[in-house]
Amino acid sequence: MATYGVHMTTPPPGNLADADTQIADRISNALIIRNVTMQALSEKTGIAYPTLRRSLNGFRSLTIREIGRIAEALNLPARTLMPPELVEAGAQ
């Protein structure tokens, strides 16, 4: 259901693709580990708080650009936020 260009197709609310769920979980875990709030991440990335909240709660897909901005804000390689199958597909 998702495309892997700049924008991902947003599936119906509460029914995100497995990759989207894994990305949201990885970001949420990184926030906990780094003791960063969703509000602080929103401010640092320029992603509106309601948009970020919907994405991490499973109601919206993140774009590739948003994932990159989040990774940069958390000082992580973007690939660590991606499911392994997407990282492997991108390496080919």
pLDDT the model gives residue 92: 57
77: left (phi over 0), alpha (psi -120 to 50) or beta: beta
Report which residue type is found at 73: A
Report which residue type is found at 26: R
pLDDT the model gives residue 30: 97
Per-residue pLDDT of the chain (92 residues; tens, 9 = 90+): 344 444 444 545 444 578 899 999 999 999 999 999 999 999 999 999 999 999 999 899 999 999 999 999 999 999 999 988 777 665 55
Domains with residue ranges and CATH for the chain: 18-91 (1.10.260.40)
pLDDT the model gives residue 14: 46
- CA-wise closest residue to 51 among 1, 10, 15: 10
Q: Is 71 exposed, middle or buried (0-12, 13-18, 19+ CB in 10 A)?
A: buried
- CA-wise closest residue to 53 among 76, 37, 72, 35: 37
User: Angle formed by the axes of helices 64-73 and 38-45, to 10°?
Assistant: 110
pLDDT the model gives residue 1: 39
Tell me, what DSSP letter sits at residue 66?
H
